A = this chain, B = another copy of it.
Amino acid sequence: MVERVPNWLKQRAFLTPERPALFFEGSKWTFAELYEKALRQAAALEKAGFKEGGRIGLLVQNTGKAVWMIHALQQLGASAVLLNHRLTESELLWQLEDAEVAGVVYDPACRQLAEEMSGRFLCIDLSSLPLSEPFPSREEFSLDDTCSIMYTSGTTGKPKGVQQTYGNHWWSAAGSALNLGLHEKDCWLCAVPLFHISGYSILMRSVIYGMPVRLYTQFDEVEINDALKRGEGTIISVVSAMLSRLLHSLEGSYHPDFRCMLLGGGPAPKPLLEACAEKQIPVFQTYGMTETSSQIVTLPPEYSLTKLGSAGKPLFPCQLKIDSKGKGSPFTEGEILVKGPNVTSGYIKREEANSISFTDGWFHTGDIGYVDEEGFLFVLDRRSDLIISGGENVYPAEIESVLLDHPALIDAGVVGVPDEKWGQVPAAFVVTKEPVNEMELLGFCKNRLAKYKCPAYFITLNALPRNASRKLLRRELKAEFEKRQKKT
């Protein structure tokens, strides 16, 4: 069996050195230039004491230097632990300790957070890292080596580190190209975070395909629409909230070379898809997650209109089935299971979670859906408790566990409720043992949770709806929220 392939960036810089690799804020780097920057940064990391085989935290915004650093870690042979800079200090510390990182590289925008961690970890400022003499590059990558680690939470409340190997990224990139095609003109716009699989995977496709990436630090719908109208990108990855903002600010139409609006991050509202179809925006709905190294199910081009609302069929190397308790018939709802060489081999240091999540190579996504008579997937709900707010996954259990630490509360339940701007936001239902006001609870959360995880609503109840085995009935909380909204 194949286990080794040429060092991707080295090979790409050798094969097509002059092709543009990266556009960022008016600057451009070819693959040869990107490779040289990555080697110099890798050398500087080694001088700083980082070693091959270790794990290194990366706390960066989307910038050109962050891209160099992501490649530098691959050149060094270290696994990158991608950190969400919207998390709080305590959340970050927890992940860094769990991953047993050798240190953290951060960029100036994240300095404050980094300073708070510098007592515990070797923290290196990306902007002050000297560009050393190039590092002697590795000839090959092992497909089994862990390339990146990203934390996702779950029902247990504690985030788990998802390992993505070089092989996972390779198969993901190849599977996507077989579905979307690969054109000489292709350029992928990246306005999603590099610390998420959606952004990170764009960089992997770039080097494997020999395709430039146009990177943005912030998502600004006017700026992106202008770029797409000028033909500065042929493909862009978005979540529903971004697409909605693009659509509403769009005047006129995109450049004819623009060919794919890759829509991930949860089920999209049908009216949004219909409005895009009307404006002839080529939306490709997809379904994927950190554990599948980005998309694993995507609607093939020829079905974008006839199967509106479907996430499509698996990528060529992947498989999908619905766990419908024996009923194999179409339209039967059940848990979505996926399988493929792009699926993670598991969570680091989580034996129990791994044994629960994988059965004969099938990954239990926890999400609910069905397939129609032709095998197209319709995702009904991301795992019943998951809240997707502006493309970020928010796990109720994590928020509940913070709330229960507050001395005034005896019970807490969190659900996602509709929000015009973010799609969903968390709403907290609490049972108190002594009086406490909303500001106090919000402040308590803000100290412990990323801002996007902090509840937008706090509602006090006498008791939470639970079933006989004490399982929280979140559906009833949602109904309660709706009822209260109607009243106001």
Task: Given A11-B316, A316-B15, decide whether A178 and B1 contact each other with a Cβ distance below 8 A.
Answer: no
Closest to A361 in B: B4
**Chain B CB within 8 A of A181 CB:** yes
Contacts of A4 in B (CB 8 A): 361
* Extra A-B contacts (13), CB below 8 Å, given A11-B314, A16-B300, A184-B301: A2-B167, A4-B361, A6-B318, A6-B319, A11-B316, A12-B316, A15-B313, A15-B314, A18-B302, A139-B319, A178-B208, A178-B209, A182-B182
In chain A, positions 340-361 with a C-beta closer than 8 Å to chain B are 340-341, 361
Report A's interface with B, CB cutoff 8 A: 1-6, 11-12, 14-16, 18-19, 139, 143-144, 167, 171, 174, 177-178, 181-184, 208-210, 300-302, 313-314, 316-319, 340-341, 361, 375
Instruction: Judge whether A341 and B5 touch: CB under 8 Å.
Output: yes
A299 CB to closest chain B CB (Å) equals: 11
Instruction: Judge whether A178 and B181 touch: CB under 8 Å.
Output: no
From B2, B19, B178, B341, contact of A210 by CB (8 A): B178
Q: How far is the CA of A184 from the CA of B302 in the complex (A)?
A: 10
Instruction: Judge whether A167 and B375 touch: CB under 8 Å.
Output: no
* Highest count of chain B CB atoms <10 Å: which of A3, A181, A301, A361: A181
Contacts of A5 in B (CB 8 A): 317, 340-341
Instruction: Judge whether B16 and A302 touch: CB under 8 Å.
Output: yes
A227 CB to closest chain B CB (Å) equals: 23
A157 CB to closest chain B CB (Å) equals: 32
From B2, B181, B317, contact of A171 by CB (8 A): B2
Instruction: Judge whether A143 and B182 touch: CB under 8 Å.
Output: no
Task: Given A178-B209, A182-B177, decide whether A144 and B15 contact each other with a Cβ distance below 8 A.
Answer: no
Closest to A143 in B: B1
Closest to A19 in B: B302
Q: How far is the CA of A144 from the CA of B3 in the complex (A)?
A: 12
Instruction: Judge whether B167 and A15 touch: CB under 8 Å.
Output: no
Closest to A302 in B: B16
Contacts of A340 in B (CB 8 A): 5
Q: How far is the CA of A431 from the CA of B144 in the complex (A)?
A: 58
Q: How far is the CA of A367 from the CA of B286 in the complex (A)?
A: 47
Instruction: Judge whether B14 and A375 touch: CB under 8 Å.
Output: yes
Instruction: Judge whether B171 and A182 touch: CB under 8 Å.
Output: no
Contacts of A3 in B (CB 8 A): 1
A99 CB to closest chain B CB (Å) equals: 23
Instruction: Judge whether A1 and B184 touch: CB under 8 Å.
Output: no
Task: Given A177-B178, A181-B182, A183-B181, decide whether A144 and B1 contact each other with a Cβ distance below 8 A.
Answer: yes
A472 CB to closest chain B CB (Å) equals: 38
Contacts of A16 in B (CB 8 A): 300, 302
Contacts of A14 in B (CB 8 A): 313, 375
A312 CB to closest chain B CB (Å) equals: 9
Q: How far is the CA of A288 from the CA of B73 in the complex (A)?
A: 34
Closest 6 interchain pairs by CB? A2-B341, A182-B182, A181-B182, A174-B174, A5-B317, A15-B313
Q: How far is the CA of A11 from the CA of B340 in the complex (A)?
A: 13
Contacts of A139 in B (CB 8 A): 319
Residue contacts A-B, CB under 8 angstroms, 15 given: A2-B341, A4-B361, A11-B314, A11-B316, A15-B300, A15-B314, A15-B316, A16-B300, A19-B302, A177-B177, A177-B182, A178-B182, A181-B181, A181-B182, A210-B316
Closest to A17 in B: B374
Closest to A171 in B: B2
Closest to A317 in B: B5
